[in-house]
Amino acid sequence: MNSTTKGLKILGMVLLAGLTMSNVKSDHGKYFEISKNIEIFTNLYKEINTYYVDDLDPAKLMRTGVDAMLESLDPYTNYISESEIEGFRYITDGKYNGIGAIIRQIDDYATIIEPYDNCPAQKAGLKAGDKILAIDGKETKGKSTDEISNFLKGFPGTEIQLKIERPGKSVPMDITLVRDEVIVPNVPYSGIVEDGIGYIALTTFTRNAGKNVADALKKLKTENPNLKGIIFDLRDNGGGLLQEAVNVSNVFIPKNELVVTTKGKVVDWDRSFKTLNKPVDENIPMVVLIDKGSASASEIVSGVLQDLDRAVLIGQRSYGKGLVQTTRDVGYNSKVKLTTSKYYVPSGRCIQGVSYSDGTPINIPDSLRTKFKTRSGRVVLDGGGVKPDIEVNKAMNAAILNSLQRQFMIFDYTTNYTIGKETLASPQDFKFTEFDQFVKYLKEQDYEYESDSEKMLDRLKMQLEEESYADGLGADIQDMENKIAQKKANELLEHKDAIVNLIEKDIVSRFHYQKGRIEMGLRNDIEIKEAVAILNDKAKYDAILK
């Protein structure tokens, strides 16, 4: 028996021993099947590594098998290798060791999208739009974003040499950075949006999220004694730590209030989480903003505040992730993050509504969702996410806006716009007035996009041809194509305000970073305007909650 086979057999015995000691709601007869299949897998792995015609990387082969196994479960159960621990640390703690910048793949190269303020990338002079050509002398062309991120991470105090191509510069530049611990704030901005109305943005439920939200609210109350309402922004907040969802809820609801209950296969892990502390303010009128990017812990908080009639929810239906993940050590500084339970908010509902086939939300009609009631008797529904009390349809969901961002048209235009500019007006004062120049830029780039209607029409044409119906309907198809083309020709103007909003936020972020982007966005935000209107109308606010 070789060392690989022996090791896998020992692993199997340890696994089975661990299973038999757990208080699990399952059939103990499965243990023979587990043992049998571990032995089959061990033998298969040994045979392939020994006799396959080409040399194999055993670790890579095993990782492929592990990923395929976990992929058959749900999108949130993942293996985290030793090399990926820094990324996991960022998800849980909001910090990691590296250079402090968001990067994306544009064409063949990783490109700096946004350096974080006061972090190594910004201190070294890196700017949004910088294309990374080489790292420590090694070319990066064709490397994935994940590969580049791993190269950039490292111990604080260590140096890294980047060769970058900067728009507006004729020759590449060499930049030396010193890695450091990068801390990304989970409350990047709080302030006053209108007289007496405060605003707090929470971007992720990493450690100390509850404390930071509490501190932001305390500061607003101290600096504004006549504070009459709070807007709490959970849009595009993908969640994080379950305990922090409880802590954040506790900022606004009383001590000893039930927040969430979790139930899964392991009986000993079923738990109910209640608030433990005195709230900062349990009475101040409150609006919570949510959208399709609000998930998991965001849905716990928004669901709790809705169930307890503590806040008015405004926006779009949330993502629909009612699952809880737990991390388990699996040896050699690696972990598995696996779904262990579902969570239920105080009304008893679970908002889980995600299709496991592709990890994207599915639309569950209200007629198929079970009804529950809030504390005051309002009807709320389970499954398919948290439905806001006031739904706001945003132009930001338009296909052309998604296309402009997906093809980096706004990002590239902003990069060219800011060449040679060293300063910019404050977010409150800056206005972008060159929309015609942006349209001209798109024409110069031969920008085109295919709408969802065009994609559907193309599929229809193919189907008609297969069924020999195309000849008789050719004129009708051509008429639809002409109408779609005419509609598309006007789309830029139809969505001018939304496009200008995106451009303004991108330009401001080049000089004032994440905080400036948020401040800029507040000025044009229709949901903020709706929230302010509700908080200024006590009768309407009370009527919604009662």
Residue 286 is assigned to a structural domain of this protein:
yes
**Both structure tokens of 254:** 């009383």
Same domain, 347 and 215: yes
User: 45-77, pLDDT tens digit by residue?
Assistant: 999 999 999 999 998 999 999 999 998 888 889
Residue that finishes a domain, picked among 183, 218, 236: 183
Same domain, 230 and 366: yes
Residue 88 is assigned to a structural domain of this protein:
no
Same domain, 335 and 236: yes
**Both structure tokens of 323:** 């699952």
Q: How many helices (H) and strands (E) does the chain have?
A: 18, 21
Give the structural domain span for 441.
396-448+495-527
Residue 513 is assigned to a structural domain of this protein:
yes
Same domain, 412 and 508: yes
How far, in Å, CA of 102 to CA of 116, rounded?
Answer: 8
Number of domains in the chain: 5
Neighbouring CB atoms inside 10 A of 342's CB total: 15
Catalytically annotated residues? 296, 307, 321
Same domain, 239 and 285: yes
Residue 86 is assigned to a structural domain of this protein:
no
Phi first, then psi, for residue 239 (nearest 5°) are 100, -155
Same domain, 410 and 473: no
Do the Cβ atoms of 171 and 133 come closer than 8 Å? Answer: no
Phi first, then psi, for residue 243 (nearest 5°) are -60, -35
Same domain, 486 and 424: no
Same domain, 234 and 288: yes
Residue that finishes a domain, picked among 369, 391, 413: 391
Phi first, then psi, for residue 473 (nearest 5°) are -115, 10
Same domain, 512 and 428: yes
pLDDT tens, N- to C-terminus, the chain (546 residues):
454 444 444 444 444 444 444 445 555 568 888 889 999 999 999 999 999 999 999 989 999 999 999 988 888 899 988 878 877 777 777 888 999 999 999 999 999 999 999 999 999 999 999 999 999 999 999 999 988 998 999 899 999 999 999 999 999 999 999 999 999 999 999 999 998 999 999 999 999 999 999 999 999 999 999 999 999 999 999 999 999 999 999 999 999 999 999 999 888 889 999 999 999 999 999 999 999 999 999 999 999 999 999 999 999 999 999 999 989 999 888 999 999 999 999 999 999 986 655 556 667 778 888 999 999 999 999 988 999 999 998 765 678 898 999 999 999 999 999 999 999 999 989 999 999 999 999 999 988 887 777 788 888 878 877 777 767 677 777 888 788 777 777 888 989 999 999 999 999 999 999 999 999 999 889 999 999 999 999 999 999 998
Residue 546 is assigned to a structural domain of this protein:
no
Same domain, 72 and 18: yes
Residues with Cβ within 8 Å of 116's Cβ and at least 6 positions away in sequence, in order, are: 100, 101, 102, 122, 182, 184, 513, 514
Residue 87 is assigned to a structural domain of this protein:
no
Do the Cβ atoms of 379 and 372 come closer than 8 Å? Answer: yes
Same domain, 362 and 418: no
